[in-house]
Amino acid sequence: MEYNIKISELNFEGPFDLLLHLIKKNEMDIYDIKIYEITNEYLKYLNQMKEIDLEITSEFIVMASTLLEIKSKMLLPRINEKNEEEGDPRAQLVEKLLEYKKFKAVAAYFRDRMGDTGYLFSKKPEIIDDKALDKNDEDIFKNITMLDLYNLYNDLINRYRNKINQNNTLPNHIPIDKYKIEDKMVELKAKIQSGFKYRFTELIQQCESKIEVVVSFLALLELIRIKNVKVYQEANFKEIYVERVETNEER
């Protein structure tokens, strides 16, 4: 769920957005965050949120605890049991911040592109210079009678009509689906509940058409996915057997 927290005329879309703002505000290098300063200022912002009665989401609290943990590690010697110096405790936070910056930049790019949706680009009309026409073009209608134009028009119309496919026309309306997967799921569950084992051919023997069989099969697949029924088949293209999955109460 997207949420914005507004503080001092700034919108922060989560804790990473607030952290990036603090890093930019304090002119820090993201690869060398002054964790002590950032943590203190981050906690000040949380206190400011409480003062203006803003609900602090769990993500902000988790980030605060992460910063405090990193701060405590920075204060202690980073030596493990093998006397080897451990890595920078800020490394994982820096990696997540860099990844967040990439996603934020991509989101901004797509947001800008969405603003271009629906734009139309038309070609401006051209000015035709009559003087540039060829002399032969000027005489194109010379010695042409009305009968010639009429015959030319009829020829064009006949060519257009001959290209029309009269045998494959689109329907005037789109029919509503007669069979729905949700309805078939209810129907199959009702049939299976009355017994323990069925053959799939028995479940679809009352189907009126191939499309009803297909919808019934899709409904069966959905029942399998949500673990309401289980099926098995002895071999390819053999009979499909459907069983009702017993509930814990029935067991």
∠ at Cα 22 (19, 25), nearest 5°? 150
- Whether 21 and 104 share a structural domain: yes
pLDDT, residue 65, reads 83
Best CA proximity match to 146, nearest among 134, 157, 158, 154: 154
Q: Residue 106 domain-assigned?
A: yes
pLDDT, residue 55, reads 59
Q: Residue 81 domain-assigned?
A: yes
pLDDT, residue 90, reads 81
- Whether 192 and 102 share a structural domain: no
Q: Residue 138 domain-assigned?
A: no
| Residue ranges making up the domain that contains 21 | 5-114
Report the domain count for the chain: 2
pTM as predicted:
0.37
∠ at Cα 141 (135, 147), nearest 5°? 165
Integer Cα distance of 192 and 203 in angstroms: 9
Kindly tell me the sign of the dihedral angle through the C-alpha atoms of 243, 247, 249, 251. Answer: positive
pLDDT, residue 51, reads 67
CATH number at residue 233: 1.10.10.580
For residue 146 the two structure tokens come to: 């009305």
Question: What residues of the chain score a pLDDT lower than 70?
Answer: 1-11, 51-57, 77-86, 118, 128-140, 166, 168-176, 194-196, 247-251
Show which of 114, 146, 167 is a domain's final residue.
114
Show which of 81, 98, 114 is a domain's final residue.
114
